[in-house]
Structure 1
Amino acid sequence: MSNPQRAVCTACLEDKPLADFPGTTLTRNCAHPSSLCLECVTSYINSQIQGTTPEHTRCPECEEQLDYDAIRLFANPELFNLSQRLAIDSLISKQPSFVWCPLGCGTGQVHPSGADQPLVYCLRCGRHFCFRHRAAWHSDYTCDEYDAFLANTRGFRSRAQIRREEDRAGERAYRRYRQQLDKAEARIAQSLLRTAKAKEARRRAKQRRREEERRRQAEERARRDEERRAREALEIQARIKEEERKTNRFLMSCPHCGIPNVKISGW
């Protein structure tokens, strides 16, 4: 005798309590109660929404399309969120200005300016790509130049590349000019240094000559002073002798005691 509180799942064929079944139809349009247990319903919906959008998910028994609430109620939350993102992307991708990132991050976005301003910044991976060519951004080329490059990958050069080559040539020429200028400045500096050294040598020689002249003059003054002092000494000695001579005319020594005496008169 069957138990009214239990039922057999038509998917897994297990006898389970009625509490393990949805207890109502999966969609508003289903004309039958669900004969699948909750576990099988969840497993079925997860397999349906994995990698697709919700509009492709239908009742496993009558093919009626499952609505948003039913999918959200029974599906795995992560798979449900992924399904919602896919649904949003599917809706947005129908717009002409929508573009998928070609760099592998798996997301898309609306680029309102479209091909008129083809540089796109991916909000997911943070890289740039071309709206027109659906490829990584060709920074050296405009879109027309990139088409020409694809047609002639070896011989074509863009305006940016030509400008860069010209800039490099200009930089090389400027470096050569700077080297020549530096060498010329070094020669001038050496010449100025030699001139400064020669000038300093002349200044020192002149200073030595002045010092030598001052020393010679000082020696000459000392010699003249010495000669003057010697003449003065000789003159003093001569005056003393003269005074002595004059004095001796009036002095006579006593023949008895030898003491000099002044001669007053007589012989």
Structure 2
Amino acid sequence: MECQICFELRSVSLFIKITTNCNHELNICKLCVNNHILTHLDSKDDIEIICPFDKCDQKIQYNDVKKFVSKSKFKRFDTLIFLQTLNEIPDFRWCKNPRCKFGQIHADRERNPKMTCDACGQYSCYIHDIAWHKNSVCDGLDISTKNYINKKTKPCPRCGVRIIKNGGCNHMICTCGRQFDWSHISHKP
């Protein structure tokens, strides 16, 4: 058969249903599906991967991804799902210590906005999602502090945590795992 992506003649055994929900004929080879998934995982930190068939809008499901990619790539996919799930929990915050990759749910936010990381002890503000602002009342970060944050930091495109660039190249990696180019992100949240 001829693959509709690479236009190579391949053995019929290399053509299998891409997703459990696809209704189109088997016309894309395993190699192209694998490359499609890998390209998506390497270039984006989004776990929603759509079938590569031109007229199909079905999401490639968890078990479908597992049957196409290597164990190490599937582990990356699994990690992305885990991180996305954490970021969807409203009370979850990542530690603000750049050397710590820990996060936690802060259930006591109403009475105490000051969070203490269970892994490293770093203090942070639940409300503003920044390192704890000493000598300032949480409700009223002073204007100069707000201006500094808005001028010197940029929000992570995935989780919104404010990040400051202190030199080096424009390739940034947030504590949530998202990678992005500093020059392509606006200072505004």
Counterpart of 2:127 in structure 1: which amino acid?
R
Q: Which has the higher helix share?
A: 1
Deviation of the 1:89 alpha carbon? 3.2
Give 1:86's aligned residue.
80
Deviation of the 1:48 alpha carbon? 2.7
Q: 1:126 to 1:53 in 2, by over 3 A?
A: farther
Whole-Å separation in 2 of the counterparts to 1:43 and 1:121: 42
Does 1:68 pair with 2:62? yes
Whole-Å separation in 1 of the counterparts to 2:120 and 2:6: 43
> Number of aligned pairs?
141
Q: Kindly indicate whether the alpha-carbon contact (under 8 Å) linking 1:42 and 1:75 is maintained by their aligned counterparts in 2.
A: yes
Q: 1:28 to 1:96 in 2, by over 3 A?
A: closer
Does 1:96 pair with 2:90? yes
Q: Which has the larger radius of gyration?
A: 1
Q: 1:133 to 1:31 in 2, by over 3 A?
A: closer
Counterpart of 2:57 in structure 1: which amino acid?
E
1:198-253, Cα deviation, whole Å (9 max, x unpaired): xxxxxxxxxxxxxxxxxxxxxxxxxxxxxxxxxxxxxxxxxxxxxxxxxxxxxxxx
Give 2:33's aligned residue.
41
Q: 1:89 to 1:110 in 2, by over 3 A?
A: farther
Give 2:45's aligned residue.
52
Whole-Å separation in 2 of the counterparts to 1:34 and 1:126: 54
Whole-Å separation in 1 of the counterparts to 2:19 and 2:91: 35
Give 1:133's aligned residue.
128
Whole-Å separation in 1 of the counterparts to 2:76 and 2:19: 21
Whole-Å separation in 1 of the counterparts to 2:119 and 2:74: 20
Q: Kindly indicate whether the alpha-carbon contact (under 8 Å) linking 1:102 and 1:129 is maintained by their aligned counterparts in 2.
A: yes
Q: CA RMSD in A?
A: 3.0
Counterpart of 2:83 in structure 1: which amino acid?
D
Q: Kindly indicate whether the alpha-carbon contact (under 8 Å) linking 1:92 and 1:98 is maintained by their aligned counterparts in 2.
A: yes
Whole-Å separation in 1 of the counterparts to 2:109 and 2:17: 46
Q: Which has the higher contact order (CA 8 A, sep 6+)?
A: 2
Q: Select which of 8, 31, 34 maps to 1:14.
A: 8
Q: Which has the higher strand share?
A: 2
Deviation of the 1:43 alpha carbon? 0.7
TM-score (norm 1): 0.44
Q: Tell me, which stretches of 5 or more residues in structure 1 are unaligned?
A: 1-6, 154-267
Q: 1:81 to 1:112 in 2, by over 3 A?
A: farther
